[in-house]
Structure 1
Amino acid sequence: MSQETPSPDVMIDLIKVSKVYPPDVQALTDVSLTVRRGEIVFLTGMSGAGKSTLLRLLSRIEKADKGLVEVAGIDVAKLPQRQIHVLRRKVGMAYQDFKLLPERTVADNIAISMEVAYRTPAFIEKRTR
């Protein structure tokens, strides 16, 4: 974490994060956010407010131009390409156009990402019920 003594309960830590898209579109400016273990966060706002950009930075689809982005104590900017899949297993995101499978229940739709990550049926059952 950015603190002197890392806190094991901090799952997401953004400190003064900025992202600019060419030619000069400021998507995020000095954004700071801390999310602790067990917290659920909803990002809302108008189109172009930076919600998707923030999620893309958390999952290392893109890198921040300035600032620090940490997930579970990992500085995502320093993460080697071959390790990005490990990061993405730690972060669950639901985009506004989330494409639920209509033939499955809500719990079954949620379970899909855990099935892909080879979680045990007992683990999935505990998390989705």
Structure 2
Amino acid sequence: MNRPDGAQLLVVDDEAQILELLDLTLSMQGFTVTCAASGPEALERCRARQFDVVVMDVLMSPWDGFESVRALHRELGAATPPVVFLSGLSRRDPLPELGEHVRAEYLVKPFRPSQLVERITAILSTT
């Protein structure tokens, strides 16, 4: 697998156990992981540093994953990192409008960790 070691990931999920699992899994694959437990916290993290990819849960509060990415785009514009959305809901319709130039993919739970790593690696290889 051709992946830049140390790529900066922001992982966002409001469930502590999921956040911890994703952090551990992705860190073990050589990524540098920063965690956030909500959309507003993700926005604060993105104000402080730049990330290569954001891994974002869809069903969160106070902002869902889509609103969180819209807020990131309003703040960062073209510098908004690509996003991999994670959700337990199947995705049949296209992703909602997230902002011009926002690259987004969708992965349905449950998934194998290798599937998430493959998505992130594919994004990193094209950016």
Task: Give the alignment's TM-score, normalised by structure 2.
Answer: 0.29
Larger radius of gyration: 1
Which structure's residues are more often helix, by fraction?
Answer: 2
Which structure's residues are more often strand, by fraction?
Answer: 1
Task: Give the alignment's TM-score, normalised by structure 1.
Answer: 0.29
